[in-house]
Amino acid sequence: MKPKSSAHYQREFRKRLREQGLVKKEVWILPEHAKRLAVYEKTLRECDPSNFKVGDSQTGVSVMTANVIGKEVTNWTTISLHEALKGADLFVSGQAKVELIDGVEQALHIVMTEYGDLPVFLTVSGEQIIVESALWSIDEVVDVAGFNDAVLRTHKYFPLSTISLDKLGDDGDYYHMFGALSSSSILHNVVFEIEVLANNVIQATEAYSEFLSIPASVNN
């Protein structure tokens, strides 16, 4: 089955936000604050605003990177990370689902129910964890040269994520968004990477809509 464009998941994501009574607000910030804004946005969706204070420890981003068992630093494997993620709040709450895909190279298939059932794939390879999601096919880009130029100039505005062009089986070339982190990262950072990537996929669909032949969601 041909992968659905990220625009489909953007529409589903916006629909679910509206059903929850949430509203869209546009903000203007310096590019270096994009990562912090993503954390604040998620917190404001989920907590009582009267209890929210900028700088609260609950909204802070951990700077720790080691996955420590006792005093020994260990690296995740796909299987061990699968087991750990099943117990993380994101998955226990039903905001996401995860399954192990067996094959030559094992991978985790994550369904971000909070983001319109957006599919995200995670692989562990040696010292690195890759988290990625398909955006759209190259055939759905109206001006490929213009789009590629725009991506090179603006992808830094999407914290922790990068856009690539990859062959997707018999379906041809697809643009993907991905993030990478150390396979010794703590579980909190892995979960955060997954959530940030999903949010960035939704934001990228709107940001680059002028280059796409597929309809984006409405802006409310």
**pLDDT tens digits along 10-50:** 666 667 677 777 777 777 877 767 767 776 776 676 655 55
Tokens of 139: 């055939």
Helix, coil or strand: residue 199: helix
Longest dimension (CA), the chain: 53
Report how far residue 183's alpha carbon sits from residue 127's, in angstroms, rounded to the nearest whole number.
5
Domain 6-211, second-level architecture = 2-Layer Sandwich (3.30)
- Specify the pLDDT at position 27: 77
**In the chain, where are the structural domains located?**
6-211
Q: State pLDDT tens for residues 60-105.
A: 433 333 454 444 558 999 999 999 999 999 999 999 999 999 877 8
Q: State pLDDT tens for residues 97-131.
A: 999 998 778 999 999 998 989 999 999 988 999 99
Query: What pTM was estimated for this model as a whole?
Result: 0.68
CA torsion 88-206-165-172 (nearest 10°) is 100
Report how far residue 113's alpha carbon sits from residue 4's, in angstroms, rounded to the nearest whole number.
15
DSSP state of 170: G
Q: State pLDDT tens for residues 195-217.
A: 999 999 998 988 999 999 876 55
Backbone angles phi, psi at 110, to 5 degrees: -110, 125
Residue 195 and residue 89 in contact, taking contact as beta carbons nearer than 8 Å: no
